[in-house]
């Protein structure tokens, strides 16, 4: 199957980043280290939630056979 070189709608990672950005929207880190800690904590929370991960895959426009 041919995939275009840039296709964010086909990339489930875009859903993960969207959830992460939403989680960090009200964050107020004092420095880069705190920002990195907040980002990693948010990604870990998503990683440990199968429902959120399934949602990221389901919202992508991947062909059903590849989900």
**Domain-wise residue ranges, the chain:** 9-21+31-61
Q: What's the whole-number average pLDDT of the chain?
A: 87
CA distance 62 to 67: 7
Share in percent of the chain as helix, strand, coil (round to 5): 65, 0, 35
Predicted pLDDT of residue 64: 66
Predicted pLDDT of residue 12: 87
| 33 three-class SS | helix
Half-sphere exposure of 67 (CA within 13 A, CB side): 13
Alpha-carbon torsion 17, 18, 23, 27, what sign? Answer: positive
pLDDT grade, residue 3 (50/70/90)?
low
pTM of the model: 0.74
Percent of the chain scoring above 90 in pLDDT? 54
């Amino acid at each position: 199957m041919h995939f275009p070189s840039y296709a964010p709608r086909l990339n489930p990672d875009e859903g993960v980043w969207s959830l992460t950005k939403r989680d960090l929207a009200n964050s107020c880190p004092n420095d880069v280290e705190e920002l990195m800690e907040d980002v990693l904590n948010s990604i870990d929370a998503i990683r440990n939630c199968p429902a959120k991960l399934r949602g990221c895959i389901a919202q992508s426009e991947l062909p059903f056979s590849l989900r």
